Amino acid sequence: MKRTLKYALTATFAAALVIPAVAQDTFPDVPANHWAYEALAKLKKEGLLVGYPDGLYRGSRAATRYELAVAIHAVYTNLKTVTDGLQTQIDALKNATPTTTGEKVDLTDIRNAISALQSDVNTVKAYGDNIASLKKLADTFEKELRSLGVDVEALKKDLSDIADRVAKLEKRKPTVDISGDFNIAVLAGNSRDDRLGLDKDGHVNGFSAAGPVGLTKDATILHEGAFTFKGTNETGPTWKATLVVGNLFPTYGGTSTFTGGPYVEASTDTYFSEFSAKFNTSIAGLGFDVEAGRVGYKINPWILSRPKTSSYLVTDRIADGKYTFDGAILGFNFGSAKLDVIAGKNSKRLSQSGIDINPMVVSNMRVPGFDSTNSIDRSLGLNLNVPLTSAGNLNLAYLWLDSDATTLTVPSSIKTGNRIAVFGGDADFSFGKIKVTGGYHKSNLQNNNSNVIDDDNSAWNAGLSYAGSNWNLGASYAEIEANYVAPGDWDRVAVIRNPANVKGFIVNGDLAISSNLKLTAGGQFWKGKSDTVGGLFTTDSKINSFNVGLNYALSSSLGLSLSYEDAKLEDLTGVTGDPHFKWTTLALNYGLGANAKLNFGYEVSDHTDLGGLGFTSNSGKYTGGLFTTQLTIKF
């Protein structure tokens, strides 16, 4: 169907204006290189143009009214056949459901059928004006059509029916929308000067049981496909579900600890990352919306945000920052303010192979080899968002995070409890190009409702940023006490995530040197906050880190970037020497179209004095590299 009707209608209307007809390659009196060659070939193939009895098309001759009547009737007959066929396709899809073969969901046939139907429907939608024009032509050439034996009244009625069908098709859509993404990734480490490398996520590179190796021997190949099914109904409850299949998940996200070590190429696994229904309801006249099932939620980096599991690979499951839980989110609207109530189970949501798909981690100071986390089984929370006019926003939150065992701890104490309460607020406000941000948060270790630890347990921050015409600059100050723990992701410095018992400044900025060249830079300058709580940092400890990057757009689909990061840790408790981390990274990003991209990267590490942090290979010196590549296709 596709373009055939459009060609036919266009040719018919042109003839009605007495524009001489043109020829096509099936007629011997016409050159094959004519500009309308392909269009006329399609028209003849569909039986819309037939030529004269002698086989010639006679393109230089003006069409008669009788010849136009023949063309009009042919177009009408073709159009009616197409629209009748669409209804048959729609009825067939209504009765179709996904089938299973063994344990694998087979969706290819249904997805292809829906895609083909949607293409056909979209094509027919464009014919509304042309159908109206065809009805006018039927009136104009009524006499000639009758002389051909055409029931003109029936033709007019059928054209009206077709117009009604097109109007209905514009409102009709498949009951299920299918989308998703495919990812194929390679992580290959290599040694240099017979020494391993160490990447930003704390994984050693170029590792084998026999000793340091090259890229081909330390290569981890990962793949993942995610299929999201979503109901398209505009009234009543809506639903969605995302099925994920691949071996990327066990490597990224299937663990609650941060232990470092080499990358692992796990077996293929299957799980539902989300499976929920959403609807509106009311109680005692108070309306609210409910999303129930396997749902995801985040608040901010200080209160609730899932830590990034990779600095090198990006998927929706890795980068969205949401903790998923089996439960519900209730949303209440009070004018422009919104209150969310969240409650659910955070543990034992297992993949097909028995891995917890999204464990909630409550901790700070996540350092490879020194990681200590608290696993949460159930959570209850309140999150209130209040706009501060059109230029600002206030957010207040309180979380109760429960464990089934009394094993929850904070870094500076051997005391234990079965609950951690995390609460606080943050706000932002803009004054033209200036933006002000700030927040204050606390966490209490509790045994039931009694506080076990409620000191040295706060975190606060304040920041200021300015957006220029071709540059941006921001600075902030933060203090995080040693006992502040939360399921958040507030920062990374060197290989340490969520630093605590520190205070200091963070600065960052960027400058667009030209339309295709951009410079970025940033720095973190931390000092130890307290001598009384133990851990890696004291008041003598320092962390100085800076990074700089250059991004160059070679074309609209090809980009090149070069970056350097340098972090030095001084006077750490129990650590001989001052660990020094250096990474240099070259990356190439290639767009393969609107829904596909291919990324390459190679990172060289040059670290010294890491032995005291548990990295003992080659006397704590790491000089290897990591090659990464990822192909992402969205559909």
Q: What is the pLDDT of residue 503?
A: 97
Q: Does the pLDDT of residue 221 top 70, yes or no? A: yes
Encode 557-587: b = buried (16+ Cβ within 10 Å), e = exposed: eebebebebbbbbbebeebebebbbbbebeb
Q: What gap in Å lies between CA 48 and CA 41, rounded to an integer?
A: 10
Q: Which residues have a Cβ under 8 Å from the Cβ of 48 and sit 6 or more positions away?
A: 4, 8, 11, 71, 74, 75, 78
Average pLDDT over residues 334-340: 92
Report the run of H or E that residue 338 belongs to, with start and end.
strand 337-345
Give per-residue pLDDT as tens, 233-263.
878 899 999 999 999 876 765 444 455 678 8
Q: What is the pLDDT of residue 88?
A: 66
What fold is seen in the domain 176-634?
Porin (2.40.160)
Please report, rounded to a whole number, the percentage of residues in the chain having pLDDT higher than 70. Answer: 70
Q: What gap in Å lies between CA 136 and CA 77, rounded to an integer?
A: 16
Q: Does the pLDDT of residue 271 top 80, yes or no? A: yes
Give per-residue pLDDT as tens, 31-43.
556 544 455 455 5
Q: Does the pLDDT of residue 11 top 60, yes or no? A: no
Give per-residue pLDDT as tens, 449-505.
889 888 889 999 999 999 999 999 999 999 999 999 999 999 999 999 999 999 999
CA nearest neighbour of 184 among 592, 624, 561: 592
Reading the block at residue 39, the tokens are 């269009």
Report the run of H or E that residue 440 belongs to, with start and end.
strand 434-447
Q: How is the chain split into domains, by residue range?
A: 4-20+62-171, 176-634
Q: What is the pLDDT of residue 2?
A: 42
Q: What gap in Å lies between CA 270 and CA 259, rounded to an integer?
A: 24
Q: What gap in Å lies between CA 311 and CA 323, rounded to an integer?
A: 18
Q: Does the pLDDT of residue 368 top 60, yes or no? A: yes
CATH of 4-20+62-171 given 3.30.450, 1.20.58, 2.60.40, 1.10.3470: 1.20.58
CA nearest neighbour of 398 among 441, 438, 364, 445: 441
Average pLDDT over residues 420-424: 96
Reading the block at residue 139, the tokens are 């009136």
Q: What is the pLDDT of residue 375?
A: 85
Report the run of H or E that residue 429 belongs to, with start and end.
strand 419-431
Give per-residue pLDDT as tens, 581-600.
999 999 999 999 889 999 99
Q: What gap in Å lies between CA 13 and CA 62, rounded to an integer?
A: 14
Count Cβ atoms below 10 Å from residue 392 Cβ, excluding itself. 16
Q: What is the pLDDT of residue 166?
A: 67
